[in-house]
Amino acid sequence: MTSTFHDAPPLSAFSDGPRLLADIGGTNARFALETAPGQFVHIEVLPCASFATLELALAAYCAMPDVAALLAAPIRHAAIAIANPVVGDVVRMTNHHWEFSISALQRSCGFTTLVVVNDFSALAYAVPQLAAHQKEKIGGGTALEGAPLGLLGAGTGLGVSGLIPIDDQWTALRSEGGHVTFSPANAQELAILQFAWTRFEHVSAERLLSGGGLELIYSALAQHLGAPDEALAAPAIVERALGGQCALCDQVVEAFCGMLGTVAGNLAVTLGAQGGIYIGGGIVPRLGARFAASCFRRRFEQKGRFVHYLAQVPTWVITAQYPAFLGVSALLAEQLAA
């Protein structure tokens, strides 16, 4: 399916009106209307902190003049991808305070259909639909057709998923792999881990491979190297590193990329993901050429006797601006067709 993003909304090709799609992270909530298969309009990004509940954020989006003008009737079908495990009816976000009952939200909003899935499960379904210009290859390797795919991405947290081929279809894994225990690969990472232990009893991969993780690595390396700790926020760390303004910030980014390479390699050998590993999330696409020049790919392949195996596994960065909408749209369409 080829998906496009439009500024001016076409008439809805769906007989029962536009569909509401949402991609909810720990920091931002992204909303769109799907007016026809793969056509997403009125994309808005709202800060989660501005709303006490998800329902209020949904209501604020639907009340926006351009959105309200397109809705001749109440929305019937909606799908939400959310950065959290989705097991049962009650959803409690890990990296934000929102919690809600899926059935209660459906009744309150008047939806006939409401699909709620983990955000990286939704993103996984988007991967086979990505066009060539929506992804950037990092390093070598060639995808093995029909083989499993792996997916991970750092943002507010660390999302992990995979796609497993079954007959002529894909099944996305409901993974919470970001919470596996972090394992250092060198002396510097051991020092970072030892620093992290002073703050957390359990140091997961997500503790270091996230926005908060960049800040934690910065403080750890400042202590380890005897440098001043300016308590920088993640965006400032990235900005200074990319601008060549701070050697310590550049070391933080390099350490982050190396750790991500190790975790991505772990995912590849765990899933047998010879179809490739895809990197999403908000941080890596922001790094751009700095990520391509980092130690990521070397660390991805650095698995001793399995270096030749991993050298054949391609890695891509997802560069599409709103890829989760592709996946959550496909899941909603699948639900309605059942």
Burial tier of 92 (Cβ tally within 10 Å: 0-12, 13-18, 19+): exposed
Structure tokens at 188: 């510097």
Q: Tell me the percentage of the chain whose pLDDT exceeds 90.
A: 79
Q: Span 130-139, mean pLDDT?
A: 95
User: Cα separation of 206 and 209, whole Å?
Assistant: 5
Q: Span 118-126, mean pLDDT?
A: 89
Sheet order of strands, 113-118 included:
4-6, 39-47, 28-36, 19-24, 77-82, 113-118
- pLDDT digit string (tens) for 233-259? 999 999 999 999 999 999 999 999 999
5 pLDDT exceeds 60? no
Residue among 318, 331, 322 nearest 287 (CA): 318
Confidence of residue 11 (pLDDT cuts 50, 70, 90): low
- pLDDT digit string (tens) for 22-33? 999 888 999 999
Structure tokens at 47: 């800060």
pLDDT value at position 12? Answer: 63
Find residue 114's DSSP bridge partners: 78
The domains located in the chain, with CATH, are 4-124+322-337 (3.30.420.40), 132-319 (3.40.367.20)
Question: What is the average pLDDT value for the chain, to the nearest integer?
Answer: 92
Q: Tell me the percentage of the chain whose pLDDT exceeds 70.
A: 96
Q: Angle, to 10 degrees, between the axis of helix 234-242 and the axis of helix 247-271?
A: 110
Least confident of 48-62, 160-174, 208-222: 160-174
3 pLDDT exceeds 50? no
Confidence of residue 8 (pLDDT cuts 50, 70, 90): very low
Asked if residue 119 lies in contact with residue 127, where contact means CB atoms within 8 angstroms, the answer is no
pLDDT value at position 85? Answer: 84
Asked if residue 5 lies in contact with residue 293, where contact means CB atoms within 8 angstroms, the answer is no
Say whether 14 sits in a helix, a strand or coil: coil
Q: Span 292-299, mean pLDDT?
A: 98
- pLDDT digit string (tens) for 143-199? 999 999 999 999 989 999 999 999 888 888 888 899 999 999 999 999 999 999 999
Q: Span 207-227, mean pLDDT?
A: 97
Q: What is the separation, in whole angstroms, between the first and last Cα of the chain?
A: 19
pLDDT value at position 113? Answer: 96
10 pLDDT exceeds 60? no
Residue among 1, 3, 179, 149 nearest 83 (CA): 179
Residue among 323, 330, 230, 237 nearest 282 (CA): 323
